[in-house]
Each structure stands twice: as structure tokens, then as C-alpha cells.
Amino acid sequence: MSKEKKLKFNAAWELDPAPEDSKHVSIKKQYDLFINGEFVKPNSKKYFATYNPATDEKISEVADADEKDVDKAVKAARAAFGKWSKLSGKERGKYIYRIARLMQERAREFAVIETMDGGKPIRESRDIDVPLAANHFFYYAGWADKLEYAFPNRNPKPLGVAGQIIPWNFPLLMAAWKIAPALAAGNTVVLKPAETTPLTALKLAELIRDSGLPKGVVNIITGAGKTGAAIVNHPDINKIAFTGSTNVGKWIQKSIAGTDKKCTLELGGKAANIIFEDAPLDQAVEGIINGIFFNQGHVCCAGSRLFVQESVADIVIRKLKDRMETLKVGDPMDKNTDIGAINSKQQLLKIQEYIEIGKNEGGEIYQPSCSLPKKGNFCKPTIFLNVSQSHRIVQEEIFGPVLAIQTFRTIEEVIEKANNIPYGLSAGVWTDKGSKIFNLTSKLKAGVVWANTYNKFDPTSPFGGYKESGFGREGGLHGLGAYLTI
Amino acid sequence: MARIEIQKTYKIYIGGQFPRTESGRYYPLKNKKGDVIANICLCSRKDFRNAEVAARAAQSGWGSRAAFNRAQILYRIAEMLEGRKEQFISELLLQGSTLAAAKKEVEISIDRMVYYSGWCDKFQAIYSSVNPVASSHFNFSVPEPTGVVAIIADETTSLLGLVTAIAPVIAGGNTCIVLASETKPLCAVTFAEVLNSSDLPGGVVNILTGTAAELHEHFSNHMDVNTVIYYRNNKAEIKTIKENASLNVKRVFVYNKINIATEKAESPYFIFDTQEIKTTWHPIENIGASKAGY
């Protein structure tokens, strides 16, 4: 075959800007700590700014909680625990249903703030983050009066005060994953959002206040690593739930070693996305794109290691490059944007460093021809060919839009390579043959395996990792167990 | 001069619409003093058959909705009930209830609807299984709705018996035809108005009024009904229903020993009764000597 004809998507016309309006949202200039049902000034009197990563503009400033503030929040949660845990499951559930409904009603406002504060495309915050967060509350509300059915022959009891620390990649969704099951099980909560994305958690605090939830049941405090450490080390906390990096997870596990604190950790990943020669290739290419470029690749379960069977590698890579050419990178508030802003300067530097490492290790880099906005933190979608298992960009979690591509010949080989990594959060398998899917799902050391799909989440579906990707599950019936003595 | 009230015509609910009975018959409902409060439709075999057609037509759509969506709709029913609390209480008073009892009946009904809303996307996790068969197969069993359920609801309550009967059946993806209490039918018709404004597709719930003495025969011998549920105590009717059920192997459940005023009447096992279990076998590829399995 000679030269192939290619579709040129941008040749005839360009999409006009279609920005989402932000006038309808209200963001205060400054936010205090949400403790015992009201917003209170931090002990330190210190505040830090939160920026829009797409424009570098300051959006608001939030309080920096120190040890005394953490202690105050834990005391409020402890004081609220008795009454809350003794409330009937039916009545507890009603409060959680209220939170779900209020969030559905205010969904657009939450989506806009999530995108402004975190940089993710409005299409994702509007269609995925916010509705899923509301659905999590709705789902777990229903469990509150059904716990004895979830764990038969047991008398499940709440643990007490849960300290919850969440990351910046899905700020509101992670808050929902943490708070909803904890409340349904009868616990009270001290939650700390990430320092670069605190706003939707603080809006959630306002919403919780409006819902009439008893004071102190949910406390939301802002700060950086030191605040998180104070939560982990507080002696009156019964459970730590953490989502974030494997390094911090290991530190938490070590810190609480001498205590009776229960713990669930949802940590890093480096998922294998495996394409067999009998896969529906066009769908698989969409799956690769979604797997690695969803949320700028700031996803712990991102399909960041691609394995393509050798016989179809050329065609898959050609289709992948063509598809990358059509991705729209830019203003996250534009409804047509596929890839928004990198969450912070610091993260952008880390990604750029890994791209340099990849080049220096001898990887063959490819990036599409798109231009990037002049202001803000942006990174082109990037793939590396000709890399091997020992390369750092294959072994280490980059947490950005960077894909490392390897090929394989046999199924044994790809299973070996996929599992040969300290992480085990998720994996993807693309093949038309069902029996092969079940062979792989039983052999892959990963907590979630997507077959002919990728990055799917649902409140009813447990999520969590093997090995150094953490322990415990969030979502579904199994997610309840993490907040109960069974 | 005092204003003359507008009185409501109590009609039946079939396929999302409010027709009168096809038979044209009625029975008068009287208050304690003996005054006529309303003329209630005395439904016939033909009404039941029409309702069954509506229920069957709605079943596949309702059963294949996302469980989460069904949960939201049941929750919406509870929201609409809450908003109409006063109306239900005044109808219960008209039918001889005390204020305290009426209030309690309505509140339990609302909470029970929320309870079953919660089960819509959870009972599957309780009743399904992955079966570790000895051969190289992925083998799993899941519940599926049985289909169309014909219900003769509790006679002693006007609203609570109806909610108790309907909620678990539709939570599991079935559709139903319900015969309301003969002596206390008012809330049933008003409840139909609640359903009609709750995003519940027409035909999922169909509500008839009339006598069990006449209708139990038709409820149980219809060849396109999958399950009959009976909440009353008439032994002869129970026997007829069980006999007729054998015509097409209907499942029959008689729930007349349950105190519907208590939480004993709330359980996922009531959902499970109108579910079938389906088991699927799927091969798992073995490569060389490397065996895979669950």
C-alpha cells in the first residue's frame, strides 16, 4: 500500500470556543475551617492561596490548620459520635440522602468550581466527578439501615472517629468516597482535602451545614502535609483512610504501627493496558486514550503502561497517533476540551522531568502538533515507544499524560510483564475472546480489571489495590466493611 | 356564603392513566355517619386484563433500567408522598382512622418506600454468587425480575398495605397489578397520583379497586401473570389462587402472617421472592499447563 489518506480534522474549520459560564458560582475570598458545624478561624491565623492552574490566577484563600485545629476537629467529631452512632440507621440514612439531593441540585456549581480549582475539563467534572460523587452519597445512604444484611451473623458497629486525607486529582469525588460510607456506618469524620484543591470540599462543608446534619459529624479542615500528619498522629482517631501517593501511604502505615488505628490505603498505580491482536482495535484505541489522558493522566488507575501484541502494534500505534492529533488541549472551562490543565506547577515540573528521563533512557517520544495556551500549566499528551521493563518511565508512577508503550508476543509474556511491578491497582484487557478475558482477570495482580473498557467507576463497584497500591476497598458492599467492626 | 367544595372522582390507574372501570359499575363508600364519601370503581375481569397488558408492556423497560435509576424513582415517590402527607392523613381520617394512627401510617409508608429505594441497587450484591465450579469456567448466578406480579393487598389499611406490597416488587424490576383495600380504597387512588408524578413509567404499577371475592379468580388464572401475592385471610380464596396458579406454574406467596405496621414487614427477602436466579457458564482459557480459575 502506498501513502494512506488521512482525515484532517482541523483543516476545514475550527471549533469555536464554548466556555462554561462561571458567573453563577459563588466563591468567597477566604475560607475558614469547618469544625463542629460552623466555619471557624484557624489557630495560626494563617491562610494560603489556591490558584486556577489554567490561568495562574488566585481564586481564594483557605485556612492552614495546625495541631490545635486538628485537635479541635477531632474533639468535635468525638463529641458527636455518641449520638450519631446511636441514631437509627433509617434516620442516619435520611441525612445522607439529603446531602446527595443537595449535591444533585447544585451539581453545575460544583462542576465549575472543581474545574476552576483543579484544572480538569468541565466535560469531566460535569459528567463524571460531580454526578458520581452525588451517587455515592445516594448509594451509601441506603446502606445505613441495612448493615446487618451486609455482614450476616455479625453485629456490625462503627469504629468511631475517622481521619480522612484525600488527593487533588478527584477532590469532590474522593470526599464522597470517604464521607458517604463512613457516615452510613455511623462514624464521624475529620476530612482534609489536598492543599491545591480545597474549594469543592469547602463548598461541600457549606452544603452539609445546609443539610442540617448534626454538628460535628463531619469536620472539614484545610492544610498541607503537616495538617495531614497531625490527623494521622492524633491519639483519639480510630481509623485513617488515605488516598494518595505510595510514599505517604507507607509513612502512614509506619506512623500508626504502635496504635490500634484501623487503616485503608488507596495508593499509586502503574496499570497495564493490554491490547491483543483479536481486539476491536478502534475501540481499543479509544480505551488507550481514555486510559491515559482522562483527567490529564492524574489518575491512580491510569493505563500508563500499554502492551500491544506485536502483530497489530504498527496499526494500533498509527491509529493512536492519529487519534492524539484530534485531542483538544487547553482551557478546561471549554466544553470541547479533552485535556485540561496540569494541577500545579510542581506537578508539571515532575512530569517534564520524567519526559526528559524517558528521552535520556532512549525512549522514542511522540507528541501531537497541538499548541498550548501561553498561561497556566499545560502539557502535551505524550507517548514513548521503544521502552523496556527496566526504564524508569515504565516502573514509576508519573501521574501525568505520559504513556509508555511496549509490545509482546505471547499471553504468558504479557502476564509476566504486567505483574512485574510493585503496584497492583488496575489493569485493562482488550480482546474479543471472553475466555481469554477471564484467564487474564484471574492472573493479573490488580484490584480492578477492565475488559474492553477503561476507567469505569460506580458506587456499587469495589475499588482498590493489590500490593503497594494499598489495601482495603472503596465502593460497594466491600467499601462498608472498612468503616465497621465486624 | 360558604364555598361549595369540589369533590374528587376516585378512578383507577392503568398504564399511567386514570380511566373509570370498563364495566361502568361502582360501590358507594360511606363514612361512620352513613353519608356517601365517594363512588368507587367496582373493577371487572376486563379491567384486570387491561392492567395486565399494561404491566407486561412496561416490564422489560422497567426491568432493564439501571438499578440506580430505579432507586432514584422510588426515592422520588417517597419525596412526593412526604409532600402530600396532609392529604393522606385527611383521607385516613375520613376512612375512620384516629389522627395519631393516620400520621403514623403515613410516616411508616414514606420511610418504607425509602427503605426499598435503598435496596434497588443493593439486593443483587446479597443474592448473587460466583460459583467455584471444578471445571475451567467462570460461573455466576444473578437475580432477575420474575415479570408481572398480581397482588391482592392488605384489606385493613388504606396506604401502608399498598406501599408494603408494591415497593419490594418494583424495586426488583417487576411490574404489578394491585387490588386495593375494598373498605379503605381512598388512599390507593391518591397514591396512584403520587406514582404518576414521580417519574415512574406508566404501567409499572396498576391499581384497581373492587372486591377480592370477585377478582381473585382472575388474578390467579391469567396465563400471562408470573406471580401472585396475597395479603388477606380468606382460606377459600387462597386455595383457589394456589390451584389456579398451577395452570402456568405461577409462584404464589401468601403474606398474611406479617404485621405490616412493624419493621418485620421490611426485608430484602420480599424482593427476593419475586426474583428468578440465572446462572451463566463461561469458559476460561487455559494456556499450556497454566490453569486459570475462580
Q: Check whether A10 has a pLDDT greater than 80.
A: no
Q: What is the mean pLDDT of residues A443-466?
A: 97
Cell of A150: 451486609
B174, B64 Cβ separation under 8 angstroms: no
Q: What is the mean pLDDT of residues B171-192?
A: 97
Domain count, chain B: 1
CA distance B132 to chain A (A): 13
- B269/A contact by beta carbon, under 8 A: no
B45, B38 Cβ separation under 8 angstroms: no
Measure the CA–CA gap between A428 and A271, rounded to whole angstroms. 8
For A202-245, the pLDDT digits (tens) are: 999 999 999 999 999 999 999 999 999 999 999 999 999 999 99
Measure the CA–CA gap between A272 and A440, rounded to whole angstroms. 12
Question: What residue type is assigned to position B94 of the chain?
Answer: L
Provide the percentage of residues in chain A whose pLDDT is more than 70: 98
Q: Check whether B133 has a pLDDT greater than 60.
A: yes
Q: Check whether B289 has a pLDDT greater than 80.
A: no
Q: How confident is the model at residue A4 (pLDDT cuts 50, 70, 90)?
A: low
CA distance B92 to chain A (A): 25
In a domain, B3, yes or no: no
> Cβ contact (<8 Å) for A149 and B126?
yes
Measure the CA–CA gap between A281 and A138, rounded to whole angstroms. 37
Q: How confident is the model at residue B32 (pLDDT cuts 50, 70, 90)?
A: confident
Which chain A residues have a beta carbon less than 8 Å from that of B140?
A: none
Measure the CA–CA gap between A373 and A386, rounded to whole angstroms. 30
Mutate to test the interface with B, among A139, A151, A440 (most CBs of B within 10 A): A139
Q: Hunting for cell 464521624 — which residue is that?
A: A188
- B285/A contact by beta carbon, under 8 A: yes
Q: How confident is the model at residue A5 (pLDDT cuts 50, 70, 90)?
A: low
In a domain, B259, yes or no: yes
For B65-80, the pLDDT digits (tens) are: 999 999 999 999 999 9
Q: Hunting for cell 382472575 — which residue is that?
A: B218
- B68/A contact by beta carbon, under 8 A: yes
Q: How confident is the model at residue B287 (pLDDT cuts 50, 70, 90)?
A: confident
A428, A291 Cβ separation under 8 angstroms: yes
A243, A163 Cβ separation under 8 angstroms: no
Q: Check whether B153 has a pLDDT greater than 60.
A: yes
Closest residue, chain B, to A438 (C-alpha): B284
In a domain, B8, yes or no: no
Measure the CA–CA gap between A184 and A380, rounded to whole angstroms. 42
Cell of B165: 406490597
Q: What is the mean pLDDT of residues B44-56?
A: 98
Provide the percentage of residues in chain B whose pLDDT is more than 90: 93
Backbone angles phi, psi at B243, to 5 degrees: -65, -50
In a domain, B292, yes or no: no
Q: What is the mean pLDDT of residues B3-21?
A: 95
Q: Hunting for cell 495546625 — which residue is that?
A: A66
Q: Check whether B134 has a pLDDT greater than 60.
A: yes
**How confident is the model at residue A14, as a pLDDT?**
76
Q: Check whether B290 has a pLDDT greater than 80.
A: no
In a domain, B170, yes or no: yes
pTM of the model: 0.96
CA distance B126 to chain A (A): 7
CATH number at residue B231: 3.40.605.10
- Domains along the sequence of chain A with CATH: 30-267+469-485 (3.40.605.10), 272-459 (3.40.309.10)
Measure the CA–CA gap between A191 and A163, rounded to whole angstroms. 6
- B223/A contact by beta carbon, under 8 A: no
Provide the percentage of residues in chain B whose pLDDT is more than 70: 99
Residue A484 to residues A160, A186, A265, B70: CA-CA distances in angstroms? Answer: 9, 8, 16, 28
**How confident is the model at residue A15, as a pLDDT?**
80
Query: Which residues constitute the domain of residue B120?
Result: 26-283
> Cβ contact (<8 Å) for A477 and B122?
yes
**How confident is the model at residue A9, as a pLDDT?**
63
Q: Check whether A2 has a pLDDT greater than 60.
A: no
- B258/A contact by beta carbon, under 8 A: no
For B250-285, the pLDDT digits (tens) are: 999 999 999 999 999 999 999 999 999 999 999 999
Q: Is A370 a catalytic residue?
A: no
Q: Hunting for cell 489554567 — which residue is that?
A: A54
> Cβ contact (<8 Å) for A142 and B287?
no
Closest residue, chain B, to A149 (C-alpha): B126
Cell of A445: 495482580
Distance of CA A411 to the CA centre of its chain: 30
**By three-state DSSP, how is residue B41 classified?**
strand
Measure the CA–CA gap between A20 and A107, rounded to whole angstroms. 13
**How confident is the model at residue A48, as a pLDDT?**
98
Q: Hunting for cell 404489578 — which residue is that?
A: B176
A268, A425 Cβ separation under 8 angstroms: yes
> Cβ contact (<8 Å) for B68 and A442?
no
Out of A3-17, A28-42, A317-331, B33-47, pick the least confident: A3-17
> Cβ contact (<8 Å) for A412 and B294?
no
Q: How confident is the model at residue B291 (pLDDT cuts 50, 70, 90)?
A: confident
Backbone angles phi, psi at A220, to 5 degrees: -125, 120
Mark which residues 395-414 of A lie under 8 Å from B by CB: 411-412
Q: What is the DSSP letter of B184?
A: S
In a domain, B4, yes or no: no
CA distance B180 to chain A (A): 27
Annotated catalytic residue, options A263, A300, A301, A379? A300
Task: Burial-class residue A322 by CB neighbours within 10 Å (0-12, 13-18, 19+).
Answer: middle
Q: How confident is the model at residue A3 (pLDDT cuts 50, 70, 90)?
A: low
Mark which residues 132-161 of A lie under 8 Å from B by CB: 135, 138-139, 141-143, 145-146, 149-150
In a domain, B15, yes or no: no
Q: Check whether A25 has a pLDDT greater than 70.
A: yes
Q: Check whether B18 has a pLDDT greater than 50.
A: yes
Q: Which helix (H) or strand (E) holds B80?
A: helix B67-83
- B117/A contact by beta carbon, under 8 A: yes
Measure the CA–CA gap between A234 and A243, rounded to whole angstroms. 18
Residue A57 to residues A30, A41, A61, A224, B291: CA-CA distances in angstroms? Answer: 15, 24, 12, 20, 57
Residues A232-235: contacts with CB within 8 Å, 24+ apart? A232/A163, A232/A165, A232/A256, A234/A70, A234/A71, A234/A74, A234/A163, A235/A259
Q: Which of A93, A439, A443 sits opposite B118 (nearest CB)?
A: A93
Within 8 A by CB and 6+ apart from A110, the residues are A103, A125, A130, A133, A172, A200, A203
Q: Which of A149, A439, A476 sits opposite B292 (nearest CB)?
A: A439
Q: How confident is the model at residue B119 (pLDDT cuts 50, 70, 90)?
A: very high
For A87-119, the pLDDT digits (tens) are: 999 999 999 999 999 999 999 999 999 999 999
Average pLDDT, chain A: 96
